[in-house]
Amino acid sequence: MQFPDYRPRRMRRTEGLRRMVRETRLSPDNLILPLFVVPGTGVEEDVASMPGVRRASADRITAQSSPAFDAGVPAVILVGIPEHKDAQGSEAWSDSGVVQRAIKAIKRERPELVVITDVCMCEYTDHGHCGHLTRGAGGAVEVDNDATLELLARESLSHAKAGADMVAPSDMMDGRVGFIREALDDKGFEHVAIMAYAAKYASAFYGPFRDAAESAPQEGDRRGYQMDPANALEALREIALDIEEGADIVMVKPAHTYLDVIHAASQEFDHPIAAYHVSGEYAMLHAAAERGWLDLERAMLEALVGIHRAGADMILTYWAVEAARRLRA
């Protein structure tokens, strides 16, 4: 039997050979660790639906951020859960808010660590929606887009004042990137970058996050402002708008069920592309591993490599520390 001269299996025979021809190289530099910050002092508590993830008060958050930095992870993103919620989410821009205090704590201990902050109202409002709520036709709840922009700008400015390197609006309001950019520049925070949740889908994979962040809507849902999972071209239009308004990084969320969108965005735009490997994707693999259905470490790395291979320059993942340690081993 005649074989072609090129035999791919030659280069798969040993780990050393595989490393030599590896096309996609994931590194700790590609990873961002999400952290949940809660009220109080001395608080560290497990998130039941997300094994290995812990919520912490601002004075304990460095117990998670410092190991990330030591493992080679360059950035964390902070999600705040306030002590008190109201209709406007006013604790989002409090100088003594949980995220503001966490930023300062992290910067005191690890000033080189990049601190990103999630900017949205859903964690702070008593109704759980991502902005200023109104009633539409028939009494249905609606988020007032333009009124919400003012709130997002106030939150972004408060985070910048506390020392954040980057703000990440996750609300999906129209025009919010430009509005936040102008507000930051007007107050002398031109150096603070924006990572826009540009293509954020109305996904079924956010459940564990909403438990951890206490951010589930009390009425209605978010399909009126988050994207339809069936749409891909719309995501490219959303990303283009955010870039035009001044986004420094654009994000696709979730990651695994939207690899085609990540790839299309990486081909269409020169901007850095982020992808969020969300809580449901994380919990799903943990649940399968707990039942003995897959090897968790191999599945973790394969999932992250796949996201990077699709075109994501950076990945927000709850596995950032574990993956970074494994990649550096």
Instruction: Find the domain containing 263 and state its range.
Output: 25-328
**β-strands 133-135, 193-200 pairing:** unpaired
Whether residue 9 is contained in a domain is answered as no
Please, which residues bridge with residue 114 across strands? 75
Cα 316 from chain centroid (whole Å): 5
Tally of domains within the chain: 1
| CB 243, CB 271: distance < 8 Å | yes
pLDDT at 329: 83
Low-confidence ranges of the chain (pLDDT < 70): 1-4, 137-139, 213, 215, 217-220
pLDDT at 139: 66
> In this structure, what token pair is assigned to residue 124?
């702070």
pLDDT at 183: 98
Whether residue 30 is contained in a domain is answered as yes
pLDDT at 118: 96
Whether residue 4 is contained in a domain is answered as no
pLDDT at 10: 86
pLDDT at 179: 97
CA 80 to each of CA 45, 60, 150, 245, 264: distance values in angstroms, whole numbers, following the listed order: 14, 14, 19, 26, 32
> In this structure, what token pair is assigned to residue 163?
């020392």
In single-letter form, the type of residue at position 1 comes to M
User: What gap in Å lies between CA 154 and CA 186, rounded to an integer?
Assistant: 12
Whether residue 85 is contained in a domain is answered as yes
**β-strands 249-253, 114-119 pairing:** unpaired
Whether residue 318 is contained in a domain is answered as yes
pLDDT at 122: 87
Q: Rounded to a whole number, what is the distance in angstroms from the first to the last CA of the chain?
A: 43
Whether residue 15 is contained in a domain is answered as no
CA nearest neighbour of 28 among 113, 137, 110, 98: 113
Asked, as a colleague might, if the bond just before 254 is cis with ω within 30 of 0, I would say yes
User: What gap in Å lies between CA 240 and CA 136, rounded to an integer?
Assistant: 29
Whether residue 84 is contained in a domain is answered as yes
Q: Name the residues annotated as catalytic.
A: 200, 253
- Determine how many CB atoms are found less than 10 A away from the CB of residue 221: 13
Whether residue 20 is contained in a domain is answered as no
Q: What CATH number is given to the structural domain containing 117?
A: 3.20.20.70
pLDDT at 135: 72
